[in-house]
Structure 1
Amino acid sequence: MGNSRKNRLYGSVVALCLLFLVAAFSSQLSYAADVNSVRLWRAPDHTRLVFDLSGPVEHKIFPLKSPARLVIDIADSAIKSAPTDLEFSETPISKLRYGRRNDKDLRVVLDLTDDIKPRSFVLAKHGDKHDRLVIDLYDKENETVKTVNEVTDIGQGRRDIIVAIDAGHGGEDPGALGPKKIREKDIVYKISQQLQKMVDAEPGYKAHMVRSGDYYIPLRKRRNTAREVRADIFISIHADAFKNPQASGASVFALSRRGATSETARFLASKENEADLIGGVGGVSLGDVDEMLAGVLVDLSMTASLAHSLDVGARVLGEIGKITKLHKHQVEQAGFAVLKSPDVPSILVETGFISNPEEARKLNTFGHRKKLAEAILSGVKAYFQDTPPAGSLVAWKKYVSGEVSHTIAKGDTLTGIANHYRVSVNDIKAANGLTNTQIKIGQILKIPAS
């Protein structure tokens, strides 16, 4: 009987020990955060890796040579599933490897084929975005800065008008989401591509795509890119959402210096400005300049740019109103960060509300996107026809050669065109060899000197 008690006691002790060992082993397998997925984007000047996390982490990175590698140590973490769908072509990464370090930390090693300048930062959970670790690998190349002579043919005085086209969002920032998983970043990129082709097909115009693929660009860099290429106009294209799914109609925005002109404008501006929180951009540096002098100069320049922005915005809005419903019949103003260029007229075009099922369906069609691109271009051309930039081919045609052309848009009539250019209908018919007053959309007419 005594032996039986001893056996039972011994068995209980063994069971407790086993439970303790199981608990200890289980605690070793429990980490502060899991890496749920790894995503990759290639931009023109850098490669971005995003580690989607289940919680906040601490990390460090350091490079190794011979062979070239970048080591990423993530404390108290583990990869939930092996990343197998990463496309490394056209990136400096040839392979991604990972393993355990100190029995609890995760070590990721990137095998590299080119020199890079690494940058890393963590993004805390924000809205519907989880914690993330972002690794940017910047290409080590000589920076090229365009001079005025490279952008403008001063000798000929017939340079192209540069249209900077900014497709909103991109990369890990999908923008607004519509029905059937329609993503704003995809819709606006397709519209931007169509607009680019149309601009490049116009004599005297040249398009510059701010975002040429599916990657994220900080808002400040978007507007600075327009200045770097010496753009004559900056157009940011969006298809946003509103808290009310019944909200509908296209809008055109210019910068507001004193606040938004409507509740919707305020809401959309705050949503767009949040993009840098998603994309991972820190504070804004004003640079080492005298604040008073800088303020006066920027104020003068921005006042002129804002007037031009409102002018071209009104023309674009009028053209868009011919092919789709408008949310507001005047250019709205809000504090969009992407519009704050002091010397480039800038507008933001909301092509519709992707949160509205009917507008989402239209935006997802090639035909409607093409009409939107045509309307934007028609408004831009009308603006530059009246106020062509000095030294441009459009200005030369208007003021020097006396040659003016007009591309027929929807709603145009020969009488209306003649009144606009202050010439007679018969003079237009004679200059173009027309036998009647029939015209068609897309037809280009020569406008004789008045």
Structure 2
Amino acid sequence: MRSLKINITKIFIVFICYSCIAIPFSYAQNKITSVRVWPSPDSTRVVFDLKTKPEYSYFVLKKPLRLVVDFKNTSQKVKLPKVTKEHQLIKKVRFSSPKKKGWTRLVFEILEPVKPVIFALTPTGPYKDRLVVDLFAINKKPAKAIVAKNRDIRGNRDIVIAVDAGHGGEDPGSIGPSGTYEKYITLQISKRLAKLINAEKGMRAVLPRSGDYYVKNNTRTVRARKNKVDFFISIHADAFTSPQPRGASVWVLSLGRANSEIGKWIESSEKHSDLLGGAASVLKDTANEKYLVQAVLDMKMDHSMKTGSEVAVSILKELKKVTKMHKKTPQYASLGVLKSPDIPSILVETGFISNPAEEKLLKNASHQNKLAKAIFTSIRSYFKSNPPDDSYFAKVKPSIPEQHKVKSGDSLSVLAQRYGVTITKLKQANKMKSNTLIIGQSLTIPRS
């Protein structure tokens, strides 16, 4: 009996000692591994990478303005990023005394009133569990997409082209074998294309994303619509599960399923990008599906899809002059960025970033310029042939010269595209039996 009492006493002492040792560890079950800050024109996003799913709460303080975020049972051994001048909403992010032992408290020193939107994201792609803090300005209007200054062309408006750089910010897009992020490639090519458009009298470019920040798909088209764009072109770099595929392609909207395995991959990647950029965007985008189904019944959708297909064919012809092609005809997929019924839209995959050789090409400034010029040439040619009635292009269309002197590099297909006529009409107007042109030859250009 005495022996039993001693054993029970020993067990009780061991249990107490174990409890004393175990309790401190329960305070820090989670851990913040890194903190990233993404500025954009009208908001700031702060992303906390964590070891496991975060448990959190938050509140706002006034005089001075602060947002306080508490992480339950979380270690604070992490370096906080410095806030640069790019951030117009927050001055500093710092640690503060935690609410409870073993917790972590972060304080955002805010420069003006904001609306905080805070949500957790589950692991996806290169990221593990995250907590996203979005701060939206309250007292100022959201910044418009960057546009060039409207040139004075005597009352005839510019043709406005939205050049959408895919991905951005928290969403890197596809990642090449050497670590190249698609979001950087798309922004570089988009800016080169916008520069060409803005240099053309009668045209103007709009950039829904002009820096390294995330923009939801429906926000991209909303920004385009506010700027009354005539055409929407989204720039991407393709990827696949294996490194072999390469070459450019052009995609237009399909109201059904994708017509290829690559198409299915792209559709899946788009959903994946929504998760990277923010779970809230997935929910908001699905709410627009009802509107889309109703809009499909409208003639605007038919017009938009027809225009998109025509431009896609033209761009494919130009792209094959400067790069390898993955597909020689327009491809079809159900992509959210193309679903605006009132804006003709296409998506250009400039090459496979998952292919080592093509990844290197896509990073090359000269190659980026060639891609941008090919896309620009096609868009300009289309709108010179099909200008909106109130545009500068419509005003100058009657002044297209009736005669053209053949120069080096000219061909019937090039001239037909330039002047907006068919090859057949060109041959008929000049009584040509073959497609051969002679340098110095004078051609009559029929009115389209």
Partner of 1:110: 108
**Residue by residue, what CA displacement relative to the aligned partner does 1:11-32 show, whole Å, maximum 9, x if unpaired?**
999888655533333333x32x
Whole-angstrom distance in 1 between the partners of 2:130 and 2:253: 32
Once the two structures are superposed, residues 173-192 of structure 1 have per-residue CA deviations (whole angstroms, 9 ceiling, x without a partner) of: 11111122111011111111
Map of 1:359 onto structure 2: 358
> Structure 1 residues 56 and 209, CA, compared in 2 at 3 Å: closer, same or farther?
same
Alignment equivalent of 2:32, drawn from 16, 21, 35: 35
User: What SS does structure 1 have at the residue aligned with 2:373?
Assistant: helix
Pairing of 1:161-240 with structure 2 (within 5 A): 161-240=159-238
Partner of 1:63: 60
Cα offset, 1:73, TM superposition: 1.7
Equivalent position SS for 2:178: helix
From 120, 124, 127, the equivalent of 1:126 is: 124
Q: Contact conserved, 1:154 with 1:391, CA < 8 A, in 2?
A: no
1:373-408 CA distances to partner (integer Å, 9 max, x unpaired)? 000101111111211122111111114xx24699x9
Q: 1:238 to 1:108 in 2, by over 3 A?
A: same
Task: Tell me whether 89-98 or 267-276 shows the greater mean CA deviation.
Answer: 89-98
Long gaps (5+) in structure 1: 1-9, 426-435, 440-446
Shift of 1:65: 0.7
The residue that corresponds to 1:48 in the other structure is 45
Q: Could you tell me the percent identity over the aligned residues?
A: 37
Aligned residue in 2 for 1:283: 283
- Tell me what 1:3 maps to: none
Q: How many residues align?
A: 417
Of residues 153-162 and 307-316 in structure 1, the stretch that sits farther from structure 2 once superposed is 153-162
Which residue does 1:342 correspond to in 2?
341
CA distance 1:330–1:419, shift in 2 (3 Å): closer
Cα distance in 2 for residues equivalent to 1:387 and 1:263: 34
Cα distance between partner residues in 2 of 1:145 and 1:273: 26
Deviations 1:323-374 (A, max 9, x none): 1111111000101111101011100000000010111111111110010000
Farther off after superposition, 217-226 or 122-131: 122-131
Change in CA separation of 1:182 and 1:285 when aligned onto 2, cut-off 3 Å: closer
Structure 2: stretches of 5+ with no match in the other structure: 1-8, 428-437
Matched ranges for 1:46-445 at <5 A: 46-87=43-84, 89-98=86-95, 99-143=97-141, 156-280=154-278, 281-284=281-284, 295=294, 298-399=297-398, 402-403=399-400, 412-413=409-410, 421=419, 437=439
CA contact (8 A) 1:414 1:437 kept: no
Of the structure 1 ranges 119-128 and 189-198, higher mean CA displacement relative to structure 2 is found in: 119-128
What one-letter code is carried by the residue in structure 1 that aligns with 2:78? S
Q: What is the CA-CA distance between 1:61 and the residue it aligns to?
A: 2.1
Residue identity in the other structure for 2:92: K
After the TM superposition, which of the residue ranges 158-167 and 292-301 deviates more from structure 2? 292-301
Instruction: Tell me the distance in 2 between the aligned counterparts of 1:170 and 1:234.
Output: 18
Give secondary structure in 2 for the equivalent of 1:274: helix
CA apart distance, 1:306: 0.4
How far the C-alpha of 1:140 sits from its partner, in A, is: 2.1
Distance 1:200 1:49 in 2: 34
Q: Say if 2:165 and 2:186, in contact at 8 Å, map to a contact too.
A: yes
TM-score normalized with structure 2 length: 0.83
User: Is the 1:261–1:334 Cα contact (8 Å) retained in structure 2?
Assistant: yes
2:243/2:355 contact within 8 Å kept? yes
Would the alpha carbon gap of residues 144 and 392 (structure 1) be closer, same or farther in structure 2, given more than 3 Å must change? farther
CA distance in 2 between counterparts of 1:75 and 1:16 reads: 26
Q: Partners of 1:56 and 1:377 in 2: how far apart?
A: 46
- Counterpart amino acid of 1:101? K
Alpha-carbon spacing, 1:197–1:288, altered in 2? closer, same or farther (3 Å): closer
Q: What is the DSSP-based 3-state SS (H/G/I as helix, E as strand, rest coil) of the residue aligned with 2:343?
A: coil
